[in-house]
Amino acid sequence: MTLLSMECAVCGVSAPLTCTRCRLVRYCNGEHQKQHWPKHKRCCKPFREEQDPALGRYLAATQDIQAKQIIFVEEPLVVGPKWFLTEGEKSATIVPCVGCFTPCRLGKHQCRNCHWPVCSVGCAHESLECSILSLGNAPGAKSDVRGQHDYFRHDALLVLKCLLLQRSQPERWKALLEMQSHEEERLGTELQLEAEQRIVSYLQQRFLRRLKSNTNKQNVLSDYEPELLHRLCGIIETNYMVIELATGVELSGLFRQACMMEHACQPNCYFQFDATTHRIAVRAGCDIKKGDHLKITYTNILWGTQMRQHHLRMTKHFSCRCPRCEDPTEYGSYVSAMRCLGDVSKTCDGLQLPVEPLNEQTQWKCDTCPMLVDAAYVTEVQTHMTEEVERLLAGSPTASEVELLLARLSQLLHPNHFHMFNLKHTLIQLYGHEPGLELVTLTDLQLGRKLRLCEELRNVCHRLDPHSIKLAIYVSVILIEIAHTLEEKARRLPAEAKLQLELAQSHLQQAEEVLEKVQDSVAGKKLNDRLQLDQFELDKLMLANNHSQTQTAV
Residues that bind ligand SAM (CB under 6 A): 54-58, 179-180, 182, 238-239, 259-260, 262-264, 316-318, 320
Whichever of 54 and 553 has its CB closer to ligand SAM, that residue is 54
Whichever of 176 and 515 has its CB closer to ligand SAM, that residue is 176
Q: In whole angstroms, how close is the CB of 315 to ligand SAM at the nearest point?
A: 8
Q: Report yes or no: 15 and 28 within 8 Å, Cβ to Cβ.
A: yes
Strands of 157-296 (E only): list them: 241-244, 250-254, 262-263, 269-273, 280-284, 295-296
Question: In angstroms, rounded to a whole number, what is the distance separating the alpha carbons of residues 435 and 400?
Answer: 12
> Going by C-beta distance under 8 Å and a sequence separation of 6 or more, which residues neighbour residue 74?
255, 256, 257, 258, 279, 280
Say which DSSP state 441 is in. Answer: G
> Going by C-beta distance under 8 Å and a sequence separation of 6 or more, which residues neighbour residue 168?
126, 128
Whichever of 182 and 283 has its CB closer to ligand SAM, that residue is 182
Q: In whole angstroms, how close is the CB of 335 to ligand SAM at the nearest point?
A: 19
CB atoms inside a 10 Å sphere around CB 16: 10
Q: In whole angstroms, how close is the CB of 334 to ligand SAM at the nearest point?
A: 23
Whichever of 100 and 358 has its CB closer to ligand SAM, that residue is 358
Say which DSSP state 135 is in. Answer: T
Whichever of 315 and 459 has its CB closer to ligand SAM, that residue is 315
Whichever of 310 and 498 has its CB closer to ligand SAM, that residue is 310
Q: Report yes or no: 224 and 231 within 8 Å, Cβ to Cβ.
A: no
Q: In whole angstroms, how close is the CB of 192 to ligand SAM at the nearest point?
A: 15
Whichever of 177 and 523 has its CB closer to ligand SAM, that residue is 177
CB atoms inside a 10 Å sphere around CB 291: 10
Helices 170-177, 226-239: crossing angle, 10 deg rounding = 70
Radius of gyration over every alpha carbon of the chain, rounded to an integer in angstroms: 27
Q: In whole angstroms, how close is the CB of 117 to ligand SAM at the nearest point?
A: 31
Q: Report yes or no: 162 and 235 within 8 Å, Cβ to Cβ.
A: yes
Q: In whole angstroms, how close is the CB of 298 to ligand SAM at the nearest point?
A: 7
Whichever of 305 and 476 has its CB closer to ligand SAM, that residue is 305
Q: In whole angstroms, how close is the CB of 242 to ligand SAM at the nearest point?
A: 13
Q: In whole angstroms, how close is the CB of 260 to ligand SAM at the nearest point?
A: 5
Q: Where are the alpha helices (DSSP H) in 41-178?
A: 87-90, 127-133, 145-151, 154-168, 170-177
Question: In angstroms, rounded to a whole number, what is the distance separating the alpha carbons of residues 466 and 204?
Answer: 48
Whichever of 337 and 469 has its CB closer to ligand SAM, that residue is 469
Q: In whole angstroms, how close is the CB of 172 to ligand SAM at the nearest point?
A: 15
Which residue's CB comes closest to ligand SAM?
56
